[in-house]
Every structure is written in structure tokens, then in C-alpha cells.
Structure 1
Amino acid sequence: MDSVRNPYTPNAGATPEIVAGRVEHTRSFEVLLRRLARGRTDQSMIMTGLRGVGKTVLLNAFADLAREARWEVVEFEASKHDDSQFRQTMASLLRSALLQVSPRKRWSDRARRAAEVLTSFSMNMSAEGTWSMTWDVEPAEGLADHGDLTLDLTDVLLALGQAVQEHGRGLAILIDEVQFLRAAQLEALIQALHKTVQRRLPITFVGAGLPQIAELAGDAKSYAERLFRFPEIGSLGPEDAREALIRPAEIEDASFSEDAIQLALEITKGYPYFIQELGYQVWEIAPGPVIDADDVDAAREGYLAKLDQSFFRVRLDRTTTLQTAYLRAMAELGPLPQKAADVARVLHRESTQLGPTRAELIDMGLLYTPEHGYAAFTVPDFDQFMLRAVPKLIVPEVRRRTSKKSS
């Protein structure tokens, strides 16, 4: 079929033609915005889930809904930045939001006050020196200048919340890959948002991250479970997965036979990214307009090759020899969460020896801990990829420390 008309979008974070099975989440976000706009309070959200389940797509949908409701949107992908870099990112984005809500020539007292607080917030001493925003607004005295990220960010969001509220607007802060925020940064966001809730200000924070983020948020602040909902974004149910597969084809006057649908759902297990990738590969080889099971089966090889080369490989390429061996040992045990002791046994080592390696893989976002003592892959079907990519488990030798003899 015509490649130009291929309706499937296997790209990271790209919104597919049909966003299936997520109506409940978008409706919850719309209710959240409406309640905050009325001066009511409601829980913000931190969405959790494995790679490829559509968390970023949902964040993009939330951004569109917020803009339609005349809310200003601050959105970025978290990375392992120090507090100074995080402060700089937040200051720049929040300044843009303020200027969009209230152009400088029409600043009210509250808007100017928010600008002054932002200036104070931006003035931060780091190893490189002093950084501040490039606008001629004097810093506020006694606000956002404590040198403590939590106190400073709280001052900023309170001042900004009052400014946007005055204009009948709101502010939505949307952050992807939340698990990469440092503990102090996540704590600052949670505590600052808590204060805006107490003041009934129209500000909300929606994050998306790997499954461990719910635990990290709880560790940061004990009241996080009352401040947020933690919806788990997983694979699509049978009907939603079916819709995600066949509806894009129907838009382009093509269709799937029933056998083709069943085989495609069996291969993809309902994971949204996998459906997009398989649909794309099938479209490229099928003569159409009716796609049958033989077309799906013929596309399977190209589908796996594409996943291996991009979706999976990009994560494995960042690992050391020992980290690769650890992942391969987990794959040897199967797709379910594995005990640290069992993985160590496959590698012929003690759990204590491999503790740092396991922690590194969690920090890299390749593993998460669904419960104490267990680890699981953050990517669906990663165990099968490891078996394909590393056919034989090779365990590196233990490096023994050499001590210098005293003279």
C-alpha cells in the first residue's frame, strides 16, 4: 500500500491517529481544570507505566486540553540536572508563562510582583557563577531568595498563581520522565503545589514516569498520596487495542480480516507503541486493501527488527559489560519481576556484590522495583530482546582489588 498514506506513527511520544482507551484519563484532567478554575481543589496526577504505553501521548493531550481552556502550559522532560540547572529551567519557562498570561505593558501589581519573585528565584550561585534572567526587573526582597529550592519555588508558584488567577487563567505544569528529577526537586514541586492547593490557586502539576515514581513521591512527602492520583497506564484492553489497530487503517479505506486482528493483538499484547510499529510494518508490505493474517505474519520479522534496532537497542547500548550480564540473567529467568538473590545465583555471585549494579540499572531507568527485593524490566518484552541480542550469557570475571604493600 501507499507509504505516504501509512496512518501508523511508531515514533517516541507521537500522537497516533486514534488515541484509544484513554478517555477516562482525559476526562479526569478536564474535571481537574474546571474545578481549579472555579476555586475548588482537586488532586493533580502523576501517571506511571512502562515504556511505550502512551504516557507522553497523554501529556500532550493534556497540554492541548489546557490550552483550549485558556490555561498556560509549562512542559518539559526531566533530566538528571543539578538544582541550579533545574532552577534555571523552571525560571525560564515560568517567565514565558507569565508573559503569555500578562504582557509586560499591561502588568498589574500582582503580575509585577510575580515577575520580581521570579527574578529572585533565578538568582542562584552555582559552580559556574551567578545566573539570572535577562530582563530588567528588580528582585523581590524576602521572597524566593532563601537559597532553599523548596521555599523559593513555593514563593514563585504562589505569586504566579495569584497573577494568573487575576486574569481568569490557570497554569498547568506538565513534566515527563519525572523519575529523573532529584529527590530535592521532586520534594520542592510537591510542597510548592501543596501550598497552592491550600490557597485555592489555579495551578496543577501532572507528571509521567516509570512505575517507581509513586514510591519516590511518597518518600519525598508523606502527603503526596493525598495530593495526587497515581493512575497506572498499561497495555490496552482487547477492545481498545482492536480500535487502535483497525481504526487508522479504516481512515485510509483499508481493513483487517478477523484472523489478522487476532494475530496482531497476540503479537503486540496490547501495548500502544507495539501496535503502532506492527501496523506500520504491515501497511508497508500488504497489497491491501484487506490485510490478512499472512500479511501480519510476514511483517513480524521487520517489526521485531525495528524494535530491536531502536526501541530496545538504544537502552542496551548504554550499559556496561556487567550491567548487560545482569539484564541477560534476568531474561534467563523470564519476564516477571525477579528476586535479586535469584539473579545473583544465575551470575554465580552474591546479592551484595551485585547490589550496586542493580541500583545503577534502576537509576538508568532500565529496571524498577515493584516490591522489596524484586526488580522488573521497564520495557515490555525486554526479556525476549535480551535473549535475541545476547544469545549466550557471558559473566565477567570478578575484579579483585589490589592493595599496596606498606614499605
Structure 2
Amino acid sequence: MTEMASNPFTPGSGLYPPYFAGRKREEDIFKKNIKQTIAGTPMHMSIIGDWASGKTSLLKKFKETAEGEKCFVCKIVSPNTDSIAVFVNTISKSIADEIKLKEGMPFFKRVKSKVDKLTGIQAFGFGASIQKEDNLTPQFDLRIGLRTVWNELKEDYKGIVLFIDDLDTITESKTKRKQIILTLRNALMESIDDGVKVMCVVTGANLFEQFEVAHGPLVRFFEPLILGNLNDNEARDAILIPLESSGIKFDPDVIKRIIETTQGQPYYIQEFCYHLFENAINDKVTTAVYDASYDSIMHDIAAKVWNQKTRQLGDTNSKILHIISTGRNTTSQIEKHAGGNFGISAGAVRTALSRMQRENKVKKNGRGVYIMEDALFREYLKTIF
């Protein structure tokens, strides 16, 4: 190859994948909900998926769709906080910043002047200095703030779409989590009565547990979309379509091995293809190139993702998952090995297994065997203790 072609694969870059594969169902549901919101019946959604399952890429696709429907779009990164007021302020400040960016300072000042005139409401991100009355709440602030913003935007936009990313990271406190999520839900429900055409899409890795802790109906209020891995055809498209104009060819056996090894996990596909593309010999990626690249790919994923993931899991959980990864995967086997090798009590093992089941980190089949579905992470865990 006389001149190195640009690598079309983008693992962990925050950019779109080179080909957006396998999310037509999710796109269709979002388009339907956007149209209902614009028609005056707001529909809210939750996108549920583990790390690197494509949540961020899907939000970017949704953003394109919403803007194509002439909606005002604002992305909010959920803060880590126990405070309802801080959570609401994060939403309001994000909206205010987006108005500055998209509409300019004159429009921003016009909205600010309307917010300033509302008795009792705090800044709602617009820098107002009005004192808050004791009987008013962040829920009221959010409701009135959304109504005020919508009344100013509705001449130019058909609706408002809020994307709240990583909602499951707000707080470890179940009580505070319940209050925060209910505040958001209640303000959005009240906004319907106010005629505000606002749609909210929240994302997280473990939102079902969060919602069930908060209130059962929340699962129905935020229509859940669970992101799974790509099927074989979708994964093949994610590999081949970006290569079409690159001049690089992947052997059929290499494509098959990528699909089997990654299990169709979008991030893993990007990571494998990026490295293999870089290591192509004479514009080709053969099984020999695949074999020679495998260890460096695993090392790169570990450095970017798995090392941090095990730290977040904590010592006890990581050791239990390590035991499961080595094939000791019944309760009695795990307890025996955890006690004998790591000094973890049987009670601590059962508590950890129960919690990790709820969080979908492990599953238990009908024979009482614990299973980790992520084969590559399982392979990594074998090596860390």
C-alpha cells in the first residue's frame, strides 16, 4: 500500500461509528414518539444498555432526527448528586446554554426577562436573582421554566427534546434517587397540562432497577428501549460497509471471527476493526494478521474499559466474577473458592451474587449456574487474580 488509507473505524472517540448499524427499530419508535409529541401528546423514552452498547451513538442519531423535525434539542449529562435542586438546575442551565448557542444573546435575554418576572421561580439557568419562596419546589421551577421557554420557542420550533444521559449515575441513595426521578416525571406530566410539547429521553446502563425502586409506573412513563448486540447480518454490515471505499479487504474468515469473538457488541467490533485495519499487510487482513493483532486488541480494550470497570465493581465483586470466569459457577463452587482463596464469607458471596443479578452483571440459569454473557470480559477476568 503506497499511501495509508484513513481508518474508518472510531472506537471510543465519541464520534459516530462509520456505519450506523442495527438500530432501525429504535429509530422508528423515536420517530413515532417525536410525531406524537409535536401533535401535542408528548411521549418519553428510556434507552437502556450496558457500557459501549451504542447509547451515545443512538442519541446522536436521535438528535439528527429531532432537528430534522424542527425540534429544539438539548443534551444534559446527569450530575452525580443527592440534590433535587442541583439536578433541576443542571437541566435548566443546559437549556439556557443551548439557547445562547442556537438563538444568540438577544433571544436569550428576552427569555431571561420573562423568567425574571415569574414570582418565586429561581434562575432556571438564566441568572435571575429572585428569591425563592419557601413553599415552592424544584419541580415547580422545572415546570414553569419549561413552560416559559416553550412559549418563547414555539414560534420557531415544533417541540423540545431533552436528552438526559447517564441518569442511573445520579446518586447511590435509593431515597434520593426516587425523589429525583419522580420530580422529573411529575414536572413532565404537569407540562402536558401546560401545553408544552416537550419529550424527554433518558439513558443508563441499569435504569430498570432505578425505576422500580422509584415507582413502578415510571417504566411505562419512560418507554424502555433495551439495546442488545447486533445480529450477524448487522455486525457484518458494520464491518464491511465502512471498508467499501478504503481499499482494505478483510478475509471472510476474519469477518467471521470478529463477529463470533465480539458477539456483535458494537464497541468491540469497532475496536477489533480499527486495529486490524491498522495492521493490514498489502491492503489485506488475513487470519494471520488477526492472530498477530489479538493480544494488542485485548490490551487496548483493557486499558480503555475493563481496568476501570473492575475498579468500579469493587474488590469482592471482581473476585467473584473472576471465579465464575474460570468455570466455578455454581453457588457452592463460588463460595468454596471465594472462602479458600480470597477469604470472602459465604454470606458476602450470596449478597454480592444477588446484587449483581439485579444489576444484570451475571445471570443464573435454570440449573443454578451463574453466567457472564460478555465472553471477552470473561476472558480478561481470568487473568487479573
Assess same fold via TM > 0.5: yes
- The number of residue pairs the alignment matches comes to 371
1: CA distance between counterparts of 2:378 and 2:151? 50
* 1:126 equivalent in structure 2: none
User: Structure 1: how far apart are the matches of 2:263 and 2:290?
Assistant: 14
How far apart are the structure 2 equivalents of 1:18 and 1:107? 37
Q: Does 2:90 align with 1:89?
A: yes
| Deviation, structure 1 residue 267 | 1.6
Tell me which amino acid in the other structure corresponds to 1:81: T
Q: CA deviation at 1:113?
A: 3.5
Task: Assess if the C-alpha contact under 8 Å between 1:173 and 1:206 holds in 2.
Answer: yes
Mapping of residues 169-180 of structure 1, within 5 Å: 169-180=158-169
1:296-325 CA-partner distances (Å, limit 9, x unpaired): 233222211211222211222456543432
Contact (CA 8 Å) 2:71, 2:158: kept in 1 or not? yes
The C-alpha deviation readout for 1:179-230, integer Å capped at 9, x for no partner, is 11241222221222222234442211111211x3023224323322332221
- Tell which deviates more after alignment, 304-313 or 83-92: 83-92
Q: 1:356 to 1:117 in 2, by over 3 A?
A: farther
Residue 52 of structure 1 corresponds to 52
Task: Using the TM superposition, give the Cα deviation of residue 112 of structure 1 relative to its aligned residue in structure 2, in angstroms.
Answer: 4.3
In structure 2, what is the Cα distance between the partners aligned to 1:243 and 1:80?
37
Q: 1:208 aligns with which of 199, 203, 207?
A: 203
CA distance in structure 2 between the aligned counterparts of 1:115 and 1:4, rounded to whole angstroms: 55
> In structure 2, what is the Cα distance between the partners aligned to 1:237 and 1:172?
30
Query: Which residue is 1:192 aligned to?
Result: 187
8 Å CA contact 2:22, 2:234 repeated in 1: yes
Whole-angstrom distance in 2 between the partners of 1:386 and 1:333: 12
In structure 1, the partner of 2:325 is 331
Q: Deviations over 1:373-403 (max 9, x none)?
A: 999769663222110222xxxxxxxxxxxxx
Question: CA shift at 1:43, angstroms?
Answer: 2.8
Q: Deviations over 1:270-291 (max 9, x none)?
A: 1111111110111111114343
Aligned pairs for 1:2-401 (under 5 A) are: 5-11=6-12, 13-39=14-40, 41-83=41-83, 84-99=85-100, 105=106, 112-114=113-115, 116=117, 120-122=121-123, 135=127, 137=128, 139=130, 146=135, 148-182=137-171, 183=177, 184-210=179-205, 212-318=206-312, 320-333=314-327, 343-348=334-339, 349-350=344-345, 352-354=347-349, 367=361, 381-390=376-385
One-letter amino acid of the structure 1 residue matched with residue 130 of structure 2 = P
Shift of 1:21: 0.7
Distance 2:195 2:138 in 1: 22
| 70-79 or 8-17: bigger deviation | 70-79
Within 1, Cα distance between the matches of 2:155 and 2:37? 14
CA distance in 1, matches of 2:13, 2:107: 40
Q: Is the 8 A contact 2:9 2:18 kept in 1?
A: yes
Is the contact made by 2:115 and 2:126 (CA closer than 8 Å) also made in structure 1? no
Structure 1 residues 379 and 203, CA, compared in 2 at 3 Å: closer, same or farther? farther
Q: Please say if residues 279 and 285 of structure 2, whose CA atoms lie closer than 8 Å, have aligned partners that are also in contact.
A: no
1:330-365 Cα offsets, whole Å, 9 max, x none, are: 43457xxx78777445423555435776799899x8
Shift in Å, 1:87 = 3.5
Worse-matched range after superposition: 157-166 or 350-359 = 350-359
Q: Give the unaligned 5+ runs of structure 1.
A: 124-132, 391-407
Q: Aligned equivalents of 1:95 and 1:370: distance in 2? A: 46
> CA shift at 1:22, angstroms?
1.2
Deviations 1:67-104 (A, max 9, x none): 33332222133242231432332231122245567666
Please give the secondary structure, in 1, of the residue aligned with 2:75: strand
TM-score by length of 2: 0.81
Amino acid at match of 2:233: E
In structure 1, C-alpha distance between the alignment counterparts of 2:252 and 2:296, rounded to whole Å:
22
Q: CA RMSD in A?
A: 3.7
Q: TM-score, normalised by structure 1?
A: 0.77
Change (3 A) 1:106 1:313: closer
**Change in CA separation of 1:109 and 1:320 when aligned onto 2, cut-off 3 Å:** closer
Q: Distance in 1 between matches of 2:355 and 2:301?
A: 24
Counterparts in 2 of 1:319 and 1:219: CA distance versus 1, 3 Å: closer
Q: Secondary structure of 1:328's partner? A: helix
Equivalents in 1 of 2:107, 2:145: separation in Å?
A: 20
| Whole-angstrom CA distance in 1 between matches of 2:225 and 2:76 | 20
Aligned equivalent of 1:128 = none
SS of structure 2 residue aligned to 1:47: strand
Percent identity between the two aligned chains: 19
Shift in alpha-carbon separation, 1:304–1:198, aligned structure 2, 3 A: same
